[in-house]
Amino acid sequence: MSDRITIMLDGRPVEVDAGVLLIQAAQDAGTYIPRFCWHPRMNPVGMCRMCLVEVEGPGGTMLTTSCTVPVSEGMVVHTASETVKKAQEGVLEFLLINHPLDCPVCDRGGECPLQDQTMAFGPGESRYVEEKRHFEKPIPISDLVMLDRERCILCARCVRFSDDIAGDPLIEFLDRGNYTQVNTFADEPFASYFSGNTVQICPVGALTATPYRFRARPWDLEAVESVCAGCSVGCRVSVQSSQNEILRLLGVDVEATNHGWLCDKGRFGFQHLAAPDRLTTPLVRGEDGELHEASWSDALDRAARGLAAIVDSSGEGAVAGLGGSRSTNEEALAFERLMRHTIGTPHLDAAMGDALDARLLAAAPRRGLIGDLEQASTVLVWGPDLREELPVLYLRVRRAVAELGAGLVVVHPRASGLDTIADHVVRYRPGEGGALLARLAAGDGDLAEVRSALDDGPVVAIVGRTGLTEDGDLAGAVAGFAAELPDASVLAVSRRSNLYGAIDMGLAPGMGPGRVGEDPGRDADGIVEGLRDGSVKGLVLLGADPAGDHPSGTAGDALSRAEFVVSIDLFINDSNRGADVVLPAAGFAEVEGTMTNLEGRVQKVNRLVPAPGQARPANEILADLADRLGGKWESSTAESLASDIATLVPYADVSWEALDRGTGGDGILARGGDVVYSVPTVSTSVGNGMALHLGRVLYDRGTALMMDPSLAKLTQKPVLHLHPDDASSLGVAVGDQVRVSGSDGSAEVDAAVDPSLSPGVVYLPFNLGVSVGSDPSVTVEKVT
Amino acid sequence: MTDRILTVRMEAHPADSNTLDRYEATGGYATLRKALVEMSPEQIRDEVKAANLRGRGGAGFPAGVKWGFLAPAEPRYLVINADESEPGTFKDRQLLERDPHQLIEGIVLSSYALGVNHAFIYIRGEYARPARRVQRAVEEAYDAGYLGENILDSGLALDVMVHLGAGAYICGEETALLNSLEGRRGEPRLKPPFPAVEGLYAKPTIVNNVETISNIPWIIANGGSAYDAIGPEGSRGTRIFSLSGHVARPGNYEVVMGMTWREMIYQIGGGIRDGNELKCWIPGGASAPWFTPAVLDEPVTLDDAGRLGSMLGSGGIVVMDETTDVVAAALSIVKFFAHESCGQCTPCREGATWLERILQRIVTGHGREADIGLLLDVCDNISPGLRWPPAQTTICPLGPSLVSPITSIMTHFRSEVEAMIRHAEPAGV
Amino acid sequence: MSWPDDVVERAEVMVAKYPESRSAVMPLLYLAMREDKGLTLDGMRQVADYTGLTPVQVESVASFYSMYKRDSVGDYIVSVCTSISCHLLGGDEVLEAVAEETGVPPGETGSDGRLSVEGVECIGACGGAPAVQVNYELVEGVTPDSARRLCRWLADDQPVVISSDQMQADFGGIRSFEWGPAEPGGATGPVPAFGPLGTEGQRS
C-alpha cells in the first residue's frame, strides 16, 4: 500500500497517504475543503478556486488550490484561517453574482453543492446590483439532457467527463471570459451513451435529466443501494423512488467496477418497471385461444398440469427451460431446482445461443478482474464492441489506455468504440477468426508488430463474441491464446446482466450449481432445434424472449410448435404471446437477492418498491409450481435460497449479511469450483461472397427497452453497412434499399457505407427488427 | 560602451534592414556560422547564463536560468512569444518588422544550444504585416541554408514555423500560448508542470520573448560577460521601452537602463505634450501599478520598479498628463482585462466584469458611496492583501493585473474618485 | 459544401506541417472564414474533418479568439483601438466618428454587408495612437476626421487590396516607429493577409 506521511493540518499533525492531493488528504483526515470543479475520478483543473487554502512555503504562506497540490512530508496547511475564509467567501460571491438563485424551481435544490456551500461558507448577502448574465433556458442538448446555462458555474466537470472519461467530446466551453458558456454544436446533440453522468456530477442544476425533471424533491426520495441489471459489468447504483415509483438511478463509486459511472441505458432503463403494459395478473389461454386473466391458483394449476402431461406422455426430457439470466441468483437457483430436480430435465440454459460456452464464462483460464486493467501494460480486446455491449467496461479500458498509458490491441470486424485510442487495430472477416488467431499467434507478416505488442505484460485480455455470426468457440480459442501471454488476466465477456450468476446456479447444460459437472443436456440452440423437430414439447421461460434474442431469428417459429409453454415475465413479448400460461414476475428493485457480474463478483440487489398488481418474485412462483409438481422444497423464500447458495463452494463466503455490511463496497468474489474449461480448436471456413457481421448496439429493440419511453426513442432503424468497394460494385448509394439474404431469411433495409469494414463484409445491427439468421454467409443485392 | 544592440541596423538602414542581404552585409549570421563550428551547445548556454539576460516579455525571469530547467526528454521545442498585446507595448512589432533575421539567427543559436529541431514563432493575428516580414525572412533563411535539414553543413536540423494567433491577449501568457499553438483555447495551464518540463505537446519547451531571443546573436558574438557589463546589476543589457500616451515624442527607445524616470519621460520622451503637467504614468504595460511624479528621480531598473510597488513588465510606458480623467483611464484598462479574461477561473471571469461595471457606473455619474469600498474589496478577493508583488486567487497573473489600475487610482487619486461619486446623480433617477 | 481545390491543398499542407494535426485548427479557421466571410457551421465542420476533432471542439476554439467571427462580416472590418494609449489620445472619438460616418454601430455589420465596425483592444500601435486597422492592415495617427475620410474611401473606391502604406499615406499621422520599406501587398478580405494562408494580395 501507499506510504504514509505527516502534514500539519490546521495546527494538528495528521497522517495521510503520500502523493495524494491535499483536498483528498484533508478529507481523509476529516477536514472537508469546499469544492466545485474537483472530482475524485477526474484530473484536477483548479478552475473554480473554491478549495483555496494557505500552505506555508519557503517564500511565505501562499494561497493555493488544494485540488492541485499533492501533499508532502511536513506540509503546513491552513484551511480555516481568516485569509482562507475571505478567499472562499469571495469565490462564492463571484459564483453567485450571475447565478439566477432559482432554487425553488431547480431540480438540484436540496442536494445542490452550490446551495449547500453557500449556506456553509458563503457571504450573507450579495453586493452585486447589476444585471445578471442571461441565456435562453433551459435548452435540450440531447433526448435525455437539458442545459440551463444561467445556473452553470463553469466548473467543466461535464466537459472533462465527456472529453477525458467518455471520449465523446460533444459538449464544450464556447466563447470567452464573462461570456463563456457550455454548449454543444448547433446541429450535433450531446448523443453520448454516458451523458447521464454529467447530470449526476454537475454541482448545480445546469444539467438535468429529462426523465427526472420536476418529478421529485430530494427530501421526498427513498433510496437503496443495488446493482444495475443492464449488463454484466455490475455497476453499483443508488435506486431512488418516491411514492413507490422509481424515479432515478445514480452511480455509486465502487473501485472494483464502475468508479461511480453508469451508461445511459443503465441509468435511464428503469421506466419500463412502471410501464402500463407491465403484467399484473396471471394469464391463462382459454378455449377461445386468447389469454385471459386468472387467479394465481388456477394459473399455477394449469401450468403444473400442462407440464406434467408432457412428462407423462413423452418423458422428462421433453420439457426444457430457458432463461434466468436477468433474474437474481436466488431466482435462478429456484429455476434450476424446478427444471433439473422437480421436473427432472437436463435441458436448461440461461443463455440464448448468443453467449459463450458456460464453462468459459464460469472458468476462463487465468480468469481476471476488471481492476486488473489498472495495472495492465497491454490490453487485448477481441470481443464485442464494448461501448455497445458493456459500456462501463469500455470506460475502464479507456481509462487504462488513455489515462494510465496501457497499450491497446483491438480485433474486430469493423470500427469499434475503442479504435481511436488503440495502438493496433486488426480487422477480419467473420468466420475466419480461427485463421487470424493462428496467424496472430505466429506473428505472421503484418501481425508481427501486434504479436510483439502482446508480449508487454501484464496483459489483460477481454474476449467474447465480436458478433452473433461468429463461432462462440473462437472466443475460447482466443482466451486460450491470451492466457499464455505474460501475466495474463482473461475476462471472458457476455453482456446479459446476471448470466454469470445464472450459470453458477446451474442454468447451463452439463453444469450444476456451484460450477460442478452435471448430466449433459441441450443448450439453447439444441432446445430451439428440439422444439422445431418435436423432441422438446414443453417449455418454461424465465424472463426469456428467445423469439427476439436467439440469433437465428427463427426461435419464435420453433416456439409456436411447442405443445405447452409457461412464461414467467414482466411483459408480453414475441415468445410468450402464444404461451399457455403467463405468470407476472417482480422485477428490478422489487426483489431482494444477489447478482454475479462478469468477474464472478457477487453483489447484493435490494428491494425498494412493491411489484405491481399481483406480480410476485420468480422464486416464489417457481416454488409454488414445484409444489404442484410434487417437489418437496425446503426453501422457497429468497432469503432461504440465499442460505442454500452459501453452501456452494465458490459462494461459501457469500451471505446477504456480509454483502449488506459492505454496502457501497466491492462485493464478494465467488471463485473456484470443479469445472474446467478446455480450450477448443476452431476451424476456419473461408467463405466466398459476402460475410455478415451481426453486431449488437446499445439501444436495441429488447422488450424492456422498448417499454422505456426515454430510451425507446433512441433506437435506430436497421441499416446494412457495406464497404465502399462493395457498395460501388453493387451500384448501391447511401440510402438505397438493399436486400440481404441469409441462412434464415432475407430483409430489405437501407444501405450505408462503412470504410472500416473489410471488402466483402457487411454489417447489420442485431435486434433492430430485422433478422436473416446467424450464418456468416449472406448475399446482398440492390432493390430496384 | 555599447548603448544599443537591437536597433542599430534598422536605424542605419531604414530601407532594407529586414532583408537577408542587408543582414548578411552588416555581419548577420556570421555569429551562427562561427558558433556552429567553434562552440558546443553547452558553451552557448553558459554565455547566455553569464549574460544575466532577463526575459523581456514581462516577468523578467533570467533567460539562462529558464534554459537550465529544460528537461532532457525529446523532442524539445522552442517557441518565440510574439503575441505582444500588453497595452502600451509595441517594441516586438518593430523588431519583427524591421529586423526579423536578427530574431531568426537568435532562434537558430538558441535551438542549437537547447537541442531543439522545431521552433515556432507565435505572432498575434493582428500583426499581419510583421508576420509577413518574418515569414519572408524565414523563407530567405531556408533558401540560404540557415534553416532546414543541415544548417550550414553543421548537421544541425531546424524547422521554424510562423503561427498566427487570432486575437486573445491571454495567449501572451506562455502556457496559454502553448495551448493555443496546440489548437486549443488559450487558457493558461496549471503550473507545475512548467513548460520546460511539459510544454508543447507535453514535451520540454522553452518559451522566450522576441526581444529576449533577438539579443542572443550579440551575446554569442560578444560574450555573456560583455552583455553583463552593460547597465546596472539586475537590469543588464539594453532594453527597448515603448513610450506612449501624453508624451511629446512617443516611440520605441532602446536604452541602457539606470537613468531616472525624469530622464526617461522628459529627455527621451521629450516631455509632456503641449507643455502640460505630468500626472502619472504606467511604468511597464497595463498590468503594472502606476507611478506619480513623486518617484521621478528614482532609477529605471527592474529591481527599483519592484521596490517601488510596480514593475517594468513589458517595457510599455504610458504617460498621462494633468488633463487625464484617471477613473476613465482605469476603466479603459479594466475593460481591457475583462474583455481578455479567458474565463476559466471564477475570480477573474466574474470579478473583471463586475469591476468594469462598477467603474462604468462611477464614470457615467451613477456611483455610490459604498462603491469605493466595494471596488477595493472585490479587488482584494482577486488579489488578497492588495500587496506587491501581488498574491492571487486566480490561476494566472491576469487577475492581479486587472486590480492594478484600481489600486493605483485609489492610492493616488482617491479624492478624484470620491468627488466623482459625490457629484453623482442619485441612483435610479 | 466543400472547399475549392486550392484551399483543400493549403489545408492539407497546414495539417502536415505541424507535429500534431490539431495545431492546424487556427490557420484552418482562417481559411474557413475567408471562404465563407465569417465562420459557418459548415466551415467549422470542415476544419473538424481535417483535424480529427468534433465540430464543437472546433467551435470551442474558434469562439475563444476575437478574430474568428461567427457572424458574417463585411468585406472590410474597420477595427478602432480604444485601449489605454489610444483612449488617452482620442480613440473613443475615432470610433464614434467611424460609426457615425458608416452608420454601422460598433460590433455590427452594415446592412449591405460591405463593412463591419468594431472597437478593439490594444493592437500594438500605442506610439501612433489612435490607431485603426482595416482587415488587420494598420493605419496610425488617425483623427476622427481622417477616419471619416477613410470610411468614405472604403465605400467609394471599394479597394480590392487593403494596404497599410497607402492608408498611412492618405489617412495616417504619427507612427509608432519608422515603418521601413514599403510593403508590396495587403489584405484581400477580413482575415490577416499572410502568405501561407493565401490571403495576401498584390496591389495593382
Question: Does some domain include residue A146?
Answer: yes
Average pLDDT over residues C97-111: 97
How many percent of chain C have pLDDT more than 70? 99
Same domain, A561 and A644: yes
Q: Which of A22, A49, A88, A98 to mutate to test the interface with B (most CBs of B within 10 A)?
A: A49
User: pTM of whole model > 0.90?
Assistant: yes
In this prediction, residue A683 carries a pLDDT of 78
Quickly count: other Cβ atoms within 10 Å of residue B376's Cβ.
15
Distance (Å) from the C-alpha of residue A733 to the closest C-alpha of chain C? 19
Amino acid at A751: A
Give the residue extent of every domain in chain B. Answer: 8-228, 238-321, 326-422
Question: Does some domain include residue C200?
Answer: no
How many percent of chain A have pLDDT more than 90? 91
User: Would you give the end-to-end CA distance of chain B in angstroms?
Assistant: 65
ipTM (interface pTM) = 0.98
The closest of C17, A156, A656 to B346, measured between CA atoms, is A156
Distance (Å) from the C-alpha of residue B338 to the closest C-alpha of chain C? 11
In this prediction, residue B427 carries a pLDDT of 47
Q: A698 vs A384, A483, A750, CA distance in Å? A: 11, 29, 20
d(Cα A562, Cα A582) in Å, to the nearest integer? 15
Q: Which of A179, A185, A190, A419 to mutate to test the interface with C (most CBs of C within 10 A)?
A: A185
Same domain, A177 and A47: no
pLDDT per residue as tens digits for the range A132-187: 999 998 999 999 999 999 999 999 999 999 999 999 999 999 999 999 999 999 99
DSSP for A276-293, written as a single string:
TT---S-EEE-TTSSEEE
Same domain, C136 and C164: yes
Query: Helices marked H in A469-615 — which ranges?
Result: 472-483, 499-504, 524-533, 546-549, 555-559
User: Would you give the end-to-end CA distance of chain A in angstroms?
Assistant: 67
Same domain, A508 and A651: yes
d(Cα B81, Cα B170) in Å, to the nearest integer? 12
The closest of A204, A200, A313 to A250, measured between CA atoms, is A200
Q: Does pLDDT of B3 surpass 70?
A: yes
Q: A90–B343: do the CB atoms touch at under 8 Å?
A: no
Question: Does some domain include residue A116?
Answer: no
The closest of A664, A580, A568 to A611, measured between CA atoms, is A568
Q: Does pLDDT of A684 surpass 80?
A: no
Q: How many domains does chain C have?
A: 2
Same domain, C46 and C94: no
In this prediction, residue B425 carries a pLDDT of 61
Same domain, A66 and A171: no
The closest of B342, B357, B350 to B397, measured between CA atoms, is B342
Structural domain harbouring A409: 359-492
Question: Does some domain include residue A674?
Answer: no
3 state SS of C177: coil
In this prediction, residue A284 carries a pLDDT of 98
The DSSP call for residue A610 is P
List the CATH number of the domain containing C38: 1.10.10.1590
Q: Which residue has the higher pLDDT, B375 or C204?
A: B375
Q: Is the dihedral of CA A612, A615, A619, A623 positive or negative?
A: positive
Question: Does some domain include residue C112?
Answer: yes
List the CATH number of the domain containing C160: 3.40.30.10
pLDDT per residue as tens digits for the range A457-479: 999 999 999 999 998 899 999 99
DSSP for B205-256, written as a single string:
EEEEEHHHHHTHHHHHHH-HHHHHTSSSTTS-SEEEEEEEESBSS-EEEEEE
3 state SS of B132: helix
In this prediction, residue B125 carries a pLDDT of 98
The DSSP call for residue A616 is B
d(Cα A34, Cα A18) in Å, to the nearest integer? 21
Residues from C contacting A (CB-CB < 8 Å) are: 41, 44, 53-57, 59-60, 63-65
Q: Which residue has the higher pLDDT, B305 or A123?
A: B305
Same domain, C82 and C169: yes
Q: B158 vs B99, B120, B133, B220, C131, CA distance in Å? A: 20, 10, 20, 19, 37
3 state SS of A611: coil
pLDDT per residue as tens digits for the range B376-393: 999 999 999 999 999 999
Question: Does some domain include residue A168?
Answer: yes
What's the angle, vertex CA A169, arms to CA B121 and CA A193, rounded to 5?
170
Nearest to A174 among C53, C54, C60 (CB): C60
Of A274, A309, A342, the residue that ends a domain is: A274
d(Cα A421, Cα A769) in Å, to the nearest integer? 32
d(Cα B347, Cα A724) in Å, to the nearest integer? 53
- Across A355-369, A464-478, B413-427, C94-108, least confident range: B413-427
Q: Does pLDDT of A124 surpass 80?
A: no
List the CATH number of the domain containing A91: 3.10.20.740
Please give the residue of chain B at the shortest CA–CA distance from A178. Answer: B349
d(Cα B42, Cα B115) in Å, to the nearest integer? 10
d(Cα A284, Cα A300) in Å, to the nearest integer? 9
- Show Cβ contacts of residue B167 under 8 Å, excluding neighbours closer than 6 positions: B124, B125, B126, C65, C66, C67, C68, C120
Which phi-psi region, left, alpha or beta, contains residue C95 (left: φ > 0; alpha: ψ -120 to 50)? Answer: alpha
Cell matching residue B360? 462604468
Same domain, C93 and C52: no
Same domain, C31 and C97: no
List the CATH number of the domain containing A226: 3.30.70.20
3 state SS of A97: helix
**If you count residue pairs, one on A and one on C, with CB atoms under 8 Å apart, how many are there?**
35
Q: A68–B357: do the CB atoms touch at under 8 Å?
A: no
pLDDT per residue as tens digits for the range A312-337: 999 999 999 999 999 999 999 999 99
User: Would you give the end-to-end CA distance of chain C in angstroms?
Assistant: 32
Question: Does some domain include residue C101?
Answer: yes
Same domain, C34 and C109: no
d(Cα A692, Cα A745) in Å, to the nearest integer? 13
Burial class from Cβ neighbours inside 10 Å (0-12, 13-18, 19+) for residue A498 reads buried
Contact A149, A32 (CB under 8 A): no
- Residue whose C-alpha cell is 409444489: A627
Distance (Å) from the C-alpha of residue A713 to the closest C-alpha of chain C? 24
Nearest to B164 among C27, C60, C180 (CB): C27
- Residue whose C-alpha cell is 474537483: A38
Q: Can you list the positions of beta strands (E) in A39-147? A: 52-57, 60-65, 76-78, 139-140, 145-147
Question: Does some domain include residue A203?
Answer: yes
The closest of A657, A745, A742, A677 to A517, measured between CA atoms, is A677
Residue B428's pLDDT band, with cuts at 50, 70 and 90, is: very low
Query: How many residues appear in chain B?
Result: 429
Neighbours of chain A (3+ CB pairs under 8 A): B, C
Same domain, A74 and A192: no
What's the angle, vertex CA A464, arms to CA A463 and CA A466, rounded to 5?
115
- Across A112-121, A297-306, B5-14, least confident range: A112-121
Cell matching residue C106? 460598433
Question: Does some domain include residue C45?
Answer: yes
Number of H helices, E strands in chain B: 19, 9
Buried b (16+ CB within 10 A) or exposed e, A146-160: bbbbbbbbbbbbbbb
Same domain, A234 and A319: no
C167-172 contacts, C-beta under 8 A, 24 or more apart: C167/C134, C167/C137, C167/C138, C167/C139, C168/C138, C168/C139, C168/C140, C171/C139, C171/C142, C171/C146, C171/C147, C172/C128, C172/C139, C172/C140, C172/C141, C172/C142, C172/C146
Same domain, C160 and C86: yes
Question: Does some domain include residue C153?
Answer: yes
pLDDT per residue as tens digits for the range A557-585: 999 999 999 999 999 999 999 999 999 99
List the CATH number of the domain containing A574: 3.40.50.740
In this prediction, residue A214 carries a pLDDT of 87
pLDDT per residue as tens digits for the range A750-766: 999 999 999 999 999 99
CB-facing half-sphere around the CA of A422: CA atoms within 13 A: 22
Residue B429's pLDDT band, with cuts at 50, 70 and 90, is: very low
Q: Does pLDDT of A246 surpass 90?
A: yes
d(Cα A173, Cα A47) in Å, to the nearest integer? 13
Nearest to C193 among B87, B132, B181 (CB): B132
Quickly count: other Cβ atoms within 10 Å of residue A487's Cβ.
16
Q: Can you list the positions of beta strands (E) in A21-75? A: 52-57, 60-65
Of A612, A637, A669, the residue that ends a domain is: A669
Same domain, A221 and A370: no
pLDDT per residue as tens digits for the range A709-763: 999 999 999 999 999 999 999 999 999 999 999 988 999 999 999 999 999 999 9
Q: B405 vs B291, B294, B367, C9, CA distance in Å? A: 11, 18, 18, 48
Q: A91–B381: do the CB atoms touch at under 8 Å?
A: yes
Same domain, C44 and C121: no
Same domain, A182 and A303: no
Distance (Å) from the C-alpha of residue B198 to the closest C-alpha of chain A? 16
pLDDT per residue as tens digits for the range C5-38: 999 999 999 999 999 999 999 999 999 999 998 9
Residue C80 host element (H or E): strand C76-81
Average pLDDT over residues C121-144: 98
pLDDT per residue as tens digits for the range B51-77: 999 999 988 999 999 999 999 999 999
Nearest to A63 among B168, B343, B393 (CB): B393
pLDDT per residue as tens digits for the range B165-219: 999 999 999 999 999 999 999 999 999 999 999 999 999 999 999 999 999 999 9
Q: Does pLDDT of A686 surpass 80?
A: no
Instruction: Please state which architecture CATH assigns to domain B326-422.
Output: Up-down Bundle (1.20)
d(Cα C115, Cα C95) in Å, to the nearest integer? 14
Of A240, A255, A274, the residue that ends a domain is: A274
The DSSP call for residue A141 is S
Q: Domain B238-321: give its CATH code.
A: 3.10.20.600
In this prediction, residue C204 carries a pLDDT of 67
pLDDT per residue as tens digits for the range A38-52: 999 999 999 999 999
pLDDT per residue as tens digits for the range A191-201: 999 999 999 99
| C67 close contact with B: CB closer than 8 A | yes
d(Cα A356, Cα A598) in Å, to the nearest integer? 12
Q: How many domains does chain A have?
A: 5
Distance (Å) from the C-alpha of residue C155 to the closest C-alpha of chain B? 23
Strand order in A459-463's β-sheet?
A424-426, A407-411, A378-382, A459-463, A489-492
Nearest to C56 among A171, A175, A176 (CB): A171
Same domain, C166 and C115: yes
The closest of A8, A42, A39 to A26, measured between CA atoms, is A8
Average pLDDT over residues B79-87: 98
Q: Does pLDDT of C203 surpass 90?
A: no
In this prediction, residue B1 carries a pLDDT of 67
Does the domain made of B8-228 have the CATH classification 3.40.50.11540? Answer: yes
Q: Can you list the positions of beta strands (E) in A52-177? A: 52-57, 60-65, 76-78, 139-140, 145-147, 172-174
Structural domain harbouring C48: 5-62
- Residue whose C-alpha cell is 482562507: A84
